[in-house]
Each structure stands twice: as C-alpha cells, then as structure tokens.
A and B are shown apart, each in its own frame.
Chain A
Amino acid sequence: MAHMIKRRKSFFQKMRENEKVQSISTVVLPVLLGIVILALWQGQQLHALFHTDTFTLPIPTTIGEIFIDNLDKIGKNTVSTVVVALIGLILGSLLGYGIAVLAAVFPKFGKGGLSIIGAFASIPVVALAPVLNNWTKDVSKDASVRSMVAKILVVMLIAAADMGLNAYRGLTELEQYSEDLMATYAAKKRVTFLKLRLPNSLPYVFTALKVAVPASIMTTIVSEYFAEYITGIGRQIRENIVLAQYSTAWAYILTACLIGIASYVILMIVQSIALRNYH
C-alpha cells in the first residue's frame, strides 16, 4: 500500500484535484472560448468556415454600431415583443394552472383534458398563428390591436400547456402520507388544497416557467412573422432580411438573444425569492 501513497501524480492530476483551479476554470474557460469565437468572427475566420461573407454575417463591431444607432427603433419593437410575450405568458399560466386545479379536483375527466392540453403543446406554432389571425379579425378595427390579440392567444396556448402539465404534477405528486396526515386532522378539501397542494405546487410552477418563458418569447417571434401588423423583434428580423439589410437583422437577433437571457435571469431572481423557504 505504501507505494501507492508515494506514487507521483501527474501535472494534470494535480490540477484536477485542486479545488481552486477547478472553480476558477469554471468561469475562465467559457469566457476564453467566448473571446476566441468573437475574435474569429471579428477576424473573419468564421466567415471562411461557413463559406459566407461579412454582408450576410457582419462582424461584431458592425452589429454593435448598428445596434447603438437604432436604439430607438429597437426599443420600440422590444416593447411590442415583450408586452405580447408577457401578457400571453401570464394569461396562459393562469389558464394552465386553473385547468390543473380542475384536473386535480375532478381527476376522472381532468386527466383526459390534460392529455389534450399536452397535445396542444406539440402543435406547430406555424399552424396556430394564421388560424388565430383569422379568428381575431373582428376583435378591433385597429390592425395593431387585433394582431396583438392574435399573437397573445398563440403564446397563451403554448404557456397554458406547459403550466397545466407541470402544475397538475405539483398539485398531485404529494409526499407519501401527507394526504393521510390531513385526513387525520379531518381537514376539509379546501383546507388541504390551501395548506398542502398549493404550496406543494409552487416549485413545479417554476419548472413550468423555466420552459414557458423562453417558449413564449420564441412563440411571440414566430407569430410576428404571420401577424397582420408589422411590429416586434421577430418581424424586424424577417423584414430586414427581405430588404437584404443583414446587419440590421443581426442587431435584432442580438436583441432577441438579450431578451431571452434577461428574462431568464429575472425568472431566476424571482424564483430564488419565491422559493427561499423551500429547501
């Protein structure tokens, strides 16, 4: 056994076992990779790799310049996209949660309803968006309003499906014996719901939101492609590409990515506050 202890460790092994090195590398390595990719992009080596030119794939500094020059317009379109995604997400989540509650209260028929809702989630947005455009034709005389309603409805359906399935699990997948515990207290159904099911479902709500938040942004962007009224990040990406203004399109793509990341960060902050008591 003694020779095992004396055996010399290789350099890599030492690195692997050093915790400090490990924790630093977790941050440094991806940052380095990011810098390398940006450098290759800026230096146009990336273009050579993809057989493309700086016209369709503008270098980062150009995109940055365009982004700053168009801050006003980008801001307006961002508001349009975020408002649709947010309203759709909120209404859809409420609807989904409501359906989950009904399914938990009336399991016999509720479970089938959930299967249907789950199926709705896999309907391509591309098919939903034009249908809802048609359905909302008479909602308002104002094209901007009715196309916003149509977009919100699509996002709502997608968000409701996500929330419904997860919330149902949260309301019904209870710790073993916890329902029995409530029964020994002769707790009414309503009390069991408020004190046990509802708090139990909260972490599942966030699981649903982690999928629903990026999905609602993606859905908003796609339904903007089909909307009657021209507005939003997604529509701007498309319009600018049709006009062959690729660098402007890229500035909007950058915006879309920033919205995606920002919304996730916000969600994580909200989650850490809401679930601070859940260990």
Chain B
Amino acid sequence: MSETTEREKEITIEDLGVTFRDNAGNDVQALTGVNLDIYKGEFVSLLGPSGCGKTTLLRSVADLQEPTEGSIRISGMTPKEVRLEQKFGFVFQQPVLFNWRTVKKNVELPLEIMYYDKEERSKRADEMLEMVGLKEFANHFPRQLSGGMQQRVNIARAFGIRPEILLMDEPFSALDEFTKEKLHEDLLRIWRQTNKTVLFVTHNIQEAVFLSDRVCVLSPHPGRLSAVVDIDLPRPRRLDMKDTSHFNELVTKVRNSFEGGSL
C-alpha cells in the first residue's frame, strides 16, 4: 500500500458495525469492526460469500443503512451529507429501470431530480449512451433490451450525474460470462475516462481481481473484513491477462485469505 499513501483519502471507515434484529428478536451481527481507507480515484472491490455483510457495508457508505457502531467519513462529511449533495452514483444488482420511460429518459431521471435544464439533460444523456454504446437504442423502452443492455443503461445513468463516488452492488452477477467480460472492459474504460472512486461489491473472485486496485475480502459469521489484497496487475487491464500465471496467483492469494474455512 506504500504507493497509495501519498494519495488523498476519500472514504474513511472506522470500527464500523451493523447489527440487525431478526423477526424472532435476536440480534444478528451483519458487520463488525471494519476499518478501511479508500483513496480518490481508486477501484476497490468488496468480495465475499453471501451473508458476509459486503452489501451492508456498501449500503452504509451510501446512507441506505444506518451503522450501529463506528463511523464513515467521506472527504470529512457524513454519508448523509454526501447523499444530500447528490454525489453518489449507485448501481444496483438489478437494472432498476422505470419501464414507462425510454432508455434516454431513464438516463435523464437523476438529472431531472437535480433540476438540470432540458438541453443539458438531453446532451448528457446522449453522451452517456454513446459511451456505453447504446446510442441507437435511446428511444427504446427498457423491456425491449437484453439484460446486458439494461445494465449498461444503469451504468450510463449512474455516470450521467458525474458522481464523486460510484457504488456498485453486484452489478454483473445476473449476466452471462460473455456479456460480463464485455461490460468489465466497458466499465474500466469509462472509469479511466472519468477517474472516479469506485466501490464494487461482488462474490466473484476473478471479477474482483480483474477490475480492482485492491480487493477487500470479507468473511461471514460475523461479517468482518479479513484481508485486503493489492492487485498489481498493470493498467489498462486486458482480457488476456486472465490467462497469465500472475493473475492466477492473485486469485489464489485472495481465495486463501478467506477465514472461516468452509465456503
């Protein structure tokens, strides 16, 4: 982590813990004692099996979930302040497109909410759709698009507001391997162009290694951060890097850093 210390810290997570109460009245620790710094412009993955609290961690950063312990600071502000300043771009597991709006209108939605004028909205939406390669589908409705295309609209919408921080919750987990690889390349290209901080939740080790600067490994019962693995593959990443022995060593290293054994 020596080369990143001189860079500006963007997100600081200290002693974060989240406890739920289930229907039976028992307390369930979803997350406990998480300490993590994320730097400006960094691509960080949160990796772990289901139930390890990775989504809870992401939702806490986005102020969709209130932590029960510890704190999160984003450039000195609370998640709520950042959210109210509309600096987050959140990409959910599902595309969450409004099917009564055209593709372009969907991309314009957050811009409408943020009171951009009509011309600016239209210009930006066109720009974003061009970037994800869906320019000719601008006037289609979401249901007319394939799952992969819908997820691209989702990404275009998230980048359209020029967010300071992009939060992605298993955005590609429902897609087939071929579409996924294509979108990985697209995402990395857009990320390079915009240079935003990305926090990326996934349960796929290869995906995490291929995309990230750092992989944060979370383990379940209770959910906790068990290791942070630096990924020193050169950028820009290319698909053929997945065939190198170094890539496979990193995958093995990440896999071995899981705690709790039985996955």
A residues with CB within 8 A of B: 175-178, 180-187, 191, 195-196, 199-200, 202, 277-279
Contact = CB atoms under 8 A, between A and B. Distances in A.
Nearest to A202: B100
Question: Looking at chain B's contact residues, is the secondary structure mostly helix, strand, loop, or mixed?
Answer: loop
Contacts, number: 61
Contacts of B90: 180-181, 184
25 contacts: A177-B94, A177-B96, A180-B59, A180-B64, A180-B90, A180-B92, A181-B92, A183-B63, A183-B64, A184-B64, A184-B83, A184-B89, A184-B90, A185-B161, A186-B86, A195-B109, A200-B98, A200-B100, A202-B100, A277-B100, A277-B141, A278-B100, A279-B141, A279-B142, A279-B143
Interface stretch (B19-27, B110-118, B196-204): B110-118
Q: Which of B62, B64, B144 has the most CB of A within 10 A?
A: B64
Interface string B72-94: 00000000000111101110111
B99 interface: yes
A177 to B, nearest CB: 4
The contact size tier of chain B is 20 to 34
B110 A175 contact: no
Contacts of B63: 183
A199 B92 CA distance: 21
B235 to A, nearest CB: 28
B64 A185 contact: no
A177 B83 contact: no
Nearest to B88: A184
B11 to A, nearest CB: 15
Contact of A191 (B94, B100, B113, B142): B113
A184 B62 CA distance: 7
Interface of B: 59, 62-64, 83-86, 88-90, 92-94, 96, 98-102, 109-110, 112-114, 141-144, 161, 167
A176 B161 CA distance: 22
Given A186-B84, A196-B98, A279-B99, A177 B112 contact: no
Contacts of B109: 195
A175 B112 CA distance: 20
Given A277-B100, A279-B141, A279-B144, A175 B84 contact: no
Contacts of A177: 92-94, 96
Contacts of B62: 184
Contacts of A191: 113
A206 to B, nearest CB: 13
Q: Which of B62, B63, B96, B112 has the most CB of A within 10 A?
A: B96
Contacts of B142: 279
Contacts of B85: 186
B13 to A, nearest CB: 18
Contact of A199 (B88, B93, B98): B98
A185 B115 CA distance: 12
A158 to B, nearest CB: 29
Contacts of B100: 199-200, 202, 277-278
A187 B141 contact: no
A278 B97 CA distance: 12
B96 A175 contact: yes
B86 A185 contact: yes
